[in-house]
Amino acid sequence: MIKDSADTGKRFANHILDRIFAFIFMLVVFFTLGVVTEIVRPGAIDSIVDNTFLLYCMVFLIYYLYFVISEASTGRTLGKLITGTKVVTIDGEQPGFATILLRSICRFIPFEAFSFLTESQTGWHDRLSKTRVIVVKKQKIKT
């Protein structure tokens, strides 16, 4: 593995792809919760749908879990898998669970996406969690 930092193009692709995959993840979770709720307690879904605050909290939690589950288990989200990148600590090690929790919660800082426009071109969720995204290249097999 060669540990080169991912360029802004790959980071932007990760951002777009992960937004799409997180949305799909949310749809699956909401659909599953809706079906289970209707089976367990018919009609209860109406009171959940009417509670805007609860829905926002659920969206926040499911979006957060998409990143925590994937990055804590493999260091990669589906977007990173497609672009051939991975999250590591600034020392090049696999981040621990607490680091991934911090990294993921930092994504909710208002205007965090604009932090890539600074001179360092590093997002706050990277700087605050002391992580970076690297390009993962497969080693060629010599024959």
Residue 96: what pLDDT?
94
The rounded distance, in Å, linking the Cα atoms of 113 and 20 is: 16
Residue 122 lies in a domain: yes
Task: Give the tens place of pLDDT for each residue, 16-31.
Answer: 999 999 999 999 999 9
Domain count, the chain: 1
Kind plus residue range of the DSSP H or E element containing 93: none
Residue 61 lies in a domain: yes
**Structural domain range at position 75:** 4-135
Phi and psi at residue 77, to the nearest 5°: -90, 175
- Are residues 66 and 77 in contact, defined by beta-carbon separation less than 8 angstroms? yes
Residue 139: what pLDDT?
53
Residue 35 lies in a domain: yes
Residue 91 lies in a domain: yes
Residue 114 lies in a domain: yes
Residue 53: what pLDDT?
92
Residue 112 lies in a domain: yes
The rounded distance, in Å, linking the Cα atoms of 83 and 6 is: 9
pLDDT band at 138 (very low <50, low <70, confident <90, very high): low
Closest alpha carbon to 106 in 76, 88, 128: 128
